[in-house]
Copies of this chain bind each other. A is one copy, B any other.
């Protein structure tokens, strides 16, 4: 149910039965020696697409690259929009869809750096556009994901960590160089911050992360947990207020 694969009369027909759309958001950002630059985008896209398939809900084109103005910019290949640009992108995309009659927005975000832009864009759209409802999901903040991470000893997400590795192994296995897992995994040293500080990162680009325990099987589990949650969120979003 990708919007881009529909004709406009298809969308007109869809809007007669349903006013919901799923918007995936990703990044194009270094993920260490073993994972591709598109990791966040591939994962978010796959999750959104599977949730859309199961619920017969439309999926908008992914907004990627994302906002990556962190240490990641020092690694070749990372592309970042400025925060104002990415915020405007989300706003414009939502405003276009709202104009056609979409009212329920589920954003599926694959990249922590996008959070500020999402918050700002959606607050402004919720303020300006009448009658809309929205929510957003980030797999690494879901309690069921965190519980499973703890059980299998993956550790929490960091950057380019075990869970991400597992998910991308499930979603796009051919792109993972698992033989490079765990090389040079020095820890970042700066600790007080909720944020990244420029001079504190391992040489590989990985932060606070353990990749060695990642497997495609665990990735499939985390993926299923997330899609299940997304499905529930869609139902909630569409329930009468």
Q: Which residues of chain A have a CB within 8 Å of any CB of chain B?
A: 2-12, 15, 28, 30-38, 41-42, 60-61, 64-65, 67, 69-70, 73, 75-85, 87-89, 92-93, 96-97, 99-101, 113, 115-124, 126-127, 132-136, 141, 172, 175, 177, 189-200, 205, 232-233, 236-237, 241
Contact = CB atoms under 8 A, between A and B. Distances in A.
20 contacts: A7-B32, A7-B33, A8-B30, A60-B79, A61-B79, A67-B120, A69-B124, A70-B126, A73-B127, A82-B124, A83-B119, A116-B118, A117-B120, A132-B198, A133-B197, A134-B195, A134-B197, A135-B195, A141-B194, A192-B236
Given A83-B120, A199-B241, 17 more contacts: A3-B28, A4-B42, A5-B175, A7-B77, A8-B77, A8-B205, A41-B61, A69-B126, A70-B123, A70-B127, A73-B96, A88-B88, A115-B115, A116-B119, A135-B195, A136-B194, A192-B236
Nearest to A9: B33
